[in-house]
Structure 1
Amino acid sequence: MTTEVRINGRVVTPDGIIDGHVAIAGDRIVEVAAGDPGDGHWLLPGFVDIHNHGGGGHSFATGDPDSARRAAEFHLRHGTTTVLASLVSSPYELMREAVTAYAPLVADGVLAGIHFEGPYLSAARCGAQNPQYLRDPSIEELTELVALGGGAVRMVTIAPERAGALAAIEWLVEQGVVAAVGHTDATYEQTRTAIAAGARVATHLFNGMPPVHHREPGPVLALLGMPRVVVELIADGVHLHDGTLRFAAAAAGPGGAALITDAIDATGMADGAYELGGQAVTVTGGVARLTTDDGSPGAIAGSTLTMAAALRRAVRVGVPMVDAVRMAATTPAAAIGLGAQVGALAPGRRADLVELDADLAVRRVLRAGTWLATS
């Protein structure tokens, strides 16, 4: 018989906060109930990061399975119990190699899946994506990648204005792969057409998109608050002003916004020189930018964010705790089709839990019923 273990604290559920306990049996949650809150530490579902390029000095973008495993382990120690391995624009050969390398990690539960952020993106809004690899969407490429992954490919970001984009979005949806809109120069109308074709995620809303104009609303207003579309928000104070974060969270609502890290290998590391998609990156003061010849600030190149830090910032700018937790776990889990398995402290879900102290710093992490060391 499996022994039941109770963890006491301030339990954050999608519906509210309960002073009580979460009961675990094996790798499942069996009960969430009011009672003795114990030391009153916060109990949250494990974070779900659907856009992450690496961390702890290790990268998902290279196709190296050992590096990918170590990057996942780094973020796991910081509370992320479910993570997509996001790759940047690259040659097709590297895309194939990455799927082959990462499919076993997905099968083992180390990764929740693979996210291709490119190469089917806009050259005008490529940001830190390597422009030499950008190209129109290819259903031929996608067919091979999806088949090769055997379910490992979970999300693909596409600029809807590129030739063949709508057909690719429709094809992805038919295969059960999430189609995301991002790094795009599309008009409002083109973006709405992509949504009609089945696109359901906005890749880091505002970033890699034209700014909002009252006569040319562009992709941001086409995506924000749209039913069934989840907008990704990078809550690091660099990609988004705190006022923008607060506004977008309110406009999308907790069921329509997902906190993400967009983290790179420099996360948790010292300032210095790094690399992303074949391009040099310089991290200064924790901010990652493409390295330029003249030393001027280059394009923002991902972040050095953890999901725990993103949650703290969201709460600090005024997002209610329950809503922030939904944005950090429940909503992103649902966005990638894992809402019935992870993302909430509820009976039947996998026993993924993050315990935070009064300052919202990570104290302990539980994944599939097992406590892990934190750093």
Structure 2
Amino acid sequence: MILTAAQVVTPARILAPGWLLLDGDLIAGVGEGPPPRPADVDLGPVTVTPGFVDLHVHGGGGASFDVGTADAAAVAASTHLAHGTTSMAASLVTDTSDRMAAAVRELAPLVEDGRLAGIHLEGPWLSPRRSGAHRPGSLSDPGPAAIDGLLSAGDGAIRMVTLAPELPGGLDAVRRLAAAGVLVAIGHTDATYDEARAAIDAGARLGTHLFNAMRPLHHRDPGAVGALLDAPVDVELVADGVHLHPVVLRTVFATKPGRCILVTDAMAAAGAPDGDYRLGPMAIEVREGVARLASPGGDGAIAGSTLTMDAAVRFCVGTAGLPLLDVVHAASTAPARAWGLDDVGAVEPGRRADLVVLDERLHVVRVMRAGVWHDW
């Protein structure tokens, strides 16, 4: 089947007009100008991008991955699929070791059958000084037994772990996880520059929601932010207008070309109304689309987001003024590369036919996953 569109975003450039040749669930060819034969489907004045890849998402549609059920995971995945995310992680927040292990065991089969791209543990090895929306009483220092226990529960499904490397045993944990093939991310950390660089030298390769829940960047004390900006590693960015100012987004994209990864850090309220929710064991209030820890004054810590990836793309392009090609790379290609997902994340021959069709305002018109249209 041949599809044509006004624009097709490839890793190297935007083809205008462009065409794609699909063979079952794979992309067999991509080109610019007239297709090799008449198109089977002319999508019209739209932009076709690769399916978005979200490495950090806790839920959506009113459902949360933390409950560890297939039904909840299906609701969350379907919600984000409608907004263009065709590959996604199941991110788990800090809880008791037993409950985290139970959630990992329940979600692991969904990774094995391809419904989820992997499991991301955001905790429990985080700094009490930068805990954010994580329950302080459940935080702990990383030890070999705890690490091996959770990895064993996942049986290969845990693809990423966020931790604070300055904790006792932190660097050993980075080495242990990296040796097990897990992507280690620095986050919820009070690490100094030297401590963060030591973690990078030990195998950490990502910064979790850069700037947020980290020691602030200071010109004499650059901290983990400075180390992550300085080193050849990737950084997550939550582009919802709450977590980061547009000028910060522009600055990081300019500082780390090709290394920026857009994530939603979405909790259950993504794609759902304002109201009262839970993020793991924590009570969350969502008001005007902003999720915060429940507090009498309504000014608790930011607790994830209600963001979807298409909204992040629109914010980066429309508000921050970033080039569409760079933004799509950050929403698709860079996260796929970071997780070693070589079958998704780009519109090029040999990749899975995961496509997002966007109108002129970058709103989702149609979504294809593995060669199948999902229309609502």
Find the counterpart in structure 1 of residue 287 from structure 2. Answer: 284
CA contact (8 A) 2:285 2:298 kept: no
Q: Which letter does structure 2 place at the counterpart of 1:29?
A: I
Give 1:38 deviation, angstroms: 5.5
CA contact (8 A) 2:263 2:309 kept: yes
Q: Matches of 1:225 and 1:38 in 2, distance apart?
A: 42
| 1:304 corresponding residue in structure 2 | 306
Q: Deviations over 1:279-333 (max 9, x none)?
A: 11111110010111x3240000000000000011111211101000000000011
Question: In structure 1, what is the equivalent of residue 243 of structure 2?
Answer: 239
**Secondary structure at 2:335's aligned position in 1?**
helix
Identity in percent: 53
Compute the TM-score of the two structures, normalised by the length of structure 2: 0.95
Alignment of 1:335-374 (within 5 A): 335-338=338-341, 340-374=342-376
Runs (5+) with no aligned partner, structure 1: none
Cα deviation code 1:66-85 (max 9, x no counterpart): 10121011101110000000
- Distance across 2 between alignment mates of 1:127 and 1:236: 17
Distance in 1, matches of 2:371 and 2:52, equals: 15
Amino acid at match of 1:76: L
Aligned in 2, Cα 1:38/1:112: closer, same or farther, shift over 3 Å? closer
Q: How does 1:3-152 map to 2 (within 5 A)?
A: 4-18=1-15, 19-36=17-34, 39-152=44-157
Q: In the alignment, which of 199, 205, 211 is matched to residue 204 of structure 2?
A: 199
CA distance in 2 between partners of 1:248 and 1:75 (Å): 25
Gaps of 5+ in 2: 35-41
* Corresponding position: 1:320 with 2:316: no
- Say yes or no: does 1:252 pair with 2:267: no
3-state SS of paired residue (2:343): coil
**Structure 1 residues 59-98: Cα deviation after superposition (integer angstroms, max 9, x where no partner):** 0122222101210111011100000000000111112111
> Could you list the per-position Cα deviations for residues 114-152 of structure 1 after superposition, in whole angstroms to 9, with x for gaps in the alignment?
000000000000011111110001221222322332221
How big is the shift at 1:225?
4.5
Question: Counterparts of 1:251 and 1:71 in 2: how far apart (Å)?
Answer: 33
TM-score (norm 1): 0.96
RMSD: 1.2
Quick one: distance in 2 between partners of 1:172 and 1:344?
28
Contact (CA 8 Å) 2:5, 2:47: kept in 1 or not?
A: no
Contact 1:7–1:23 (CA<8 Å) still a contact in 2? no
Shift of 1:9: 3.6
What is the deviation of 1:7? 4.2
Does structure 2 retain, via aligned residues, the 8 Å contact 1:5–1:25?
Answer: no
Letter aligned with residue 241 of structure 1: H
State the SS of the aligned residue for 1:258: strand
The total of aligned residue pairs comes to: 367
Equivalent position amino acid for 2:366 in 1: R
1:110 Cα deviation after fit: 0.9
Return the offset for 1:337.
Answer: 1.2
| C-alpha distance in 2 between matches for 1:280 and 1:141 | 26
User: In 1, distance between residues paired with 2:125 and 2:165?
Assistant: 9
Q: Answer yes or no: is the 8 Å Cα contact 2:292–2:298 preserved in 1.
A: no
Partners of 2:166 and 2:191 within 8 A in 1: yes
**1:236 to partner: Cα distance:** 0.3
8 Å contact from structure 1 (residues 106, 152) kept in 2: yes
